[in-house]
Structure 1
C-alpha cells in the first residue's frame, strides 16, 4: 500500500551518547516516514520492507533549508521543535585544585 504524498519529519539533530560537547548539534535532519509496513521474510525470518526511502537521512544547516527542500520536492512535512539541552557550565582546570572542593579529586 503506497501513499500518494511522502511524509517527511524535520527535527534538530540530537547529541550522540558518546558526545559531551555541543559540536555537530546545530544541524537539522529530514527523514521519511515509512510508506509501507515491514514484513517478515518467510525464508530467513528477518524483517524488511520494499520502502528504500526509510533508509535516507538528509542533513541541513538550518531548519529553513530543510523546509525549502521539502517544499521544492512536494513533500508533506512535520517540524519537531528544537529541544533545549542542559546548560553546560564551563570550568577551568584550576577548579580541580580549588580549596574547599566538595567532591574528591579523581585524577
Structure 2
C-alpha cells in the first residue's frame, strides 16, 4: 500500500497560513472509483483513502511509515515566491 508524505499547502481561498506547518501521510487509491448504480455517486471499497495522518514534521511521518512498513514517497514543498508590491505602483 503506497503512501505519500507532503506538507499541507496554503488554502487559496484564505489569506492565513494555519495548519501549513503540518505534514500529512495519506494513501494512494488501491482501486478505481466507480459510480453507484442506484444513486450515481462515485465510490469504492478502498477504506485506506479515508485515512489521513498528520505529523508535526517530515521526520516523524517518515519514522511512522518505516515502523509500520508503509512504502512512502516524500513530496518536497515548493519554495514560496513572494511578489512584493507597493500601493504606489498602481499609479505609475
Q: Shorter-chain TM-score category? A: 0.7 to 0.9
2:70 is equivalent to residue 71 of structure 1: no
Q: Structure 1 segments of 4 or more deviating over 6 A? A: none
Give the TM-score of the pair, scaled to structure 2. Answer: 0.83
The structure with the largest alpha-carbon Rg is: 1
Aligned-pair CA distance for 1:19: 2.9
Matches within 5 A, 1:1-107: 6-87=1-82, 101-103=88-90
* C-alpha displacement of 1:70: 0.7
Number of equivalent positions: 91
Give the gaps of 5 or more residues in structure 1. 1-5, 90-94
Query: Gaps spanning 5+ residues in structure 2: where?
Result: none
Structure 2 match to 1:92: none
